Amino acid sequence: MYLTKRLIREHIATGEEIWLNALSGAIDKLSEVEVALVERSLGGQRGGGSLIARLRSRGYLFDNAADEQSRFRRLVAEFGREQHGAVTHLVICPTYACNLRCVYCFEHRSHPNLPREMMDIDAVNHVFDAFSRIRRLYPSRNYALGLFGGEPLMTSTRFVVSRILSRARKNRLPVMIVTNGVSVASYLPILEEHQSDIQALQLTLDGPEEVHNQRRPDAAGRGTFDAVAAAVDILLEKNMHVVLRVNVDLGNVDELPRLAKVISNRGWSEASSFSCSLAPVKDHLGSGAIPNVPAEADLLSALFDVYDRSPESEKIFGLKGLQVLGQLSALLGSGGSSRPKIYHCEANHGGFWVAGPEGLLYACPEAVGQPDLAIGRYTPAFEVWPQRMEPWMGRNINTLNACRSCEVGPLCGGGCAYASLAGKNTTPGPSCAAGLARALSVYLSRRAVQSCQGKKVRVRS
């Protein structure tokens, strides 16, 4: 008999153990006696019949390692088939310029020499020609258009944005706009004109007024809370879908309850077209240029302290924005997908094609403006550079050696490709999130204890 490699065990205060099976999605609480029974059975002794049968049916125990590998391979193959219908995001950055000076901005802090070009109408035409070619290359996929930056909704980009939205309509592409929100009011006529094509706008609010203003001032140092909050009000009033992003780190995590109050006092949480998610601030380059960036475990501990004090905050913000723990909490039934994470993000299966104003194409929105990470170009002619694409595409827990046998592999997916590639000359390998084991331990001991009590978790076959 063989015990799965994808098993995460957590001893809890009662002397029991939480067992989490990252591959099958099962989670169980075992007493000391049961753990001892399993260990004896693994050592070849008889006994524990019904317990052993249950653990087999929940994917913890196999006849041998080859049996587990064959289940793993089935899931990878299933995942490969699913990619044919996956959504591919065709993203346009009309400019890398921005009218805010956020204290943690990855684009401007880590890359102060970003290209200064701004797209013109000619560039937009080239981008859409390139996107048509991409769609012909991968005809079975579904496509959506994203507007990203810098800040896409600025006075200087109005004409170009208007043209992009018209082309999106002509190409029947649903649109997602990622904006800091400060110019939404002046863009309203354009947004309303294209309302039926706009799937959602993502705006960012980092806390109650003084917290947000300190973290996300404009270029003149003035606060932007009022403009963003007014933008959310007006978009919801117009029935447009708003995704509110909260960039969270150790500098603002304690302020979430006050932000939750803002969200409920303004009636946003009542609106069906409103959703909200946390995004931990990251320093993928490890440059140290971004302050307050926590390991996921430290952020999680702080977050659970906040959620224990304010259950309302947990209802509003949840955990789904946290890469590994979001996957884990989805697995335990708090929403989202419960499929194993064979790859880390869309960048690993050609799910992003990001066009920058300098004429280059990128596989990941955070890689924009770094020509050494470009995977092709859309002008003067459309080109894809296979050698540059290779490290991004097909990167998953089956293709990365270290991930194939990693216990948390199906929760992690192999880690962020950008973090493994950027600023390094070595062959990109796995990109293990710092403190992941500790973060899982925090999660299992503080949340999963309740989640697995009497809960029937669906087990993948």
Among 366, 376, 391, 443, binds ligand SF4 (CB under 6 A): 366
Among 243, 325, 330, 408, binds ligand SF4 (CB under 6 A): 408
Respond yes or no on whether the N-terminal peptide bond of residue 112 is cis (omega within 30° of 0).
no
Task: Give dist(CA 459, CA 452) in Å, integer.
Answer: 13
Among 431, 439, 452, 460, binds ligand SF4 (CB under 6 A): 431
Full DSSP string of 91-126: EE-SBS--SB--TT-HHHHH-TT----B--HHHHHH
For residue 243, the surrounding DSSP H or E stretch is strand 242-248
**Shorter beta-carbon distance to ligand SF4: residue 279 or 449:** 279
Closest separation between CB of residue 403 and ligand SF4, Å? 3
The one segment of 57-65, 213-221, 426-434, 447-455 that binds ligand SF4 by CB under 6 A: 426-434
Closest separation between CB of residue 121 and ligand SF4, Å? 29
Among 270, 402, 423, 455, binds ligand SF4 (CB under 6 A): 402
The one segment of 148-156, 167-175, 206-214, 407-415 that binds ligand SF4 by CB under 6 A: 407-415
Task: Give dist(CA 411, CA 29) in Å, integer.
Answer: 19
Asked if residue 175 binds ligand SF4 (CB under 6 A), the reply is: no
Cβ distance 218 to 101 under 8 Å? Answer: yes
Task: Give dist(CA 360, CA 383) in Å, integer.
Answer: 9
CA-based max dimension of the chain: 76
Full DSSP string of 19-70: EEETTT--EEEE-HHHHHHHHHHHTT----HHHHHHHHHTTSEESSHHHHHH
Contact string 260-299 vs ligand SF4 (x = CB under 6 A)? ------------------------x---------------
Pairing mode, strands 17-21 and 7-11: antiparallel
- Name residues whose C-beta falls within 8 Å of residue 202's C-beta, 6 or more positions apart in sequence: 176, 177, 178, 179, 242, 243, 244, 245
Asked if residue 422 binds ligand SF4 (CB under 6 A), the reply is: no
Asked if residue 150 binds ligand SF4 (CB under 6 A), the reply is: no
Q: Is 105 left (phi over 0), alpha (psi -120 to 50) or beta?
A: beta
Asked if residue 393 binds ligand SF4 (CB under 6 A), the reply is: no
The one segment of 77-85, 192-200, 222-230, 431-439 that binds ligand SF4 by CB under 6 A: 431-439
Among 61, 123, 263, 412, binds ligand SF4 (CB under 6 A): 412
**Shorter beta-carbon distance to ligand SF4: residue 126 or 284:** 284
Spell out where 371-423 has E strands.
376-377, 383-384
Among 415, 428, 441, 448, binds ligand SF4 (CB under 6 A): 415
Closest separation between CB of residue 245 and ligand SF4, Å? 13
| Contacts to ligand SF4 by CB under 6 A | 284, 344-345, 347, 364-366, 397, 400, 402-403, 406, 408-409, 412, 414-418, 430-432, 436
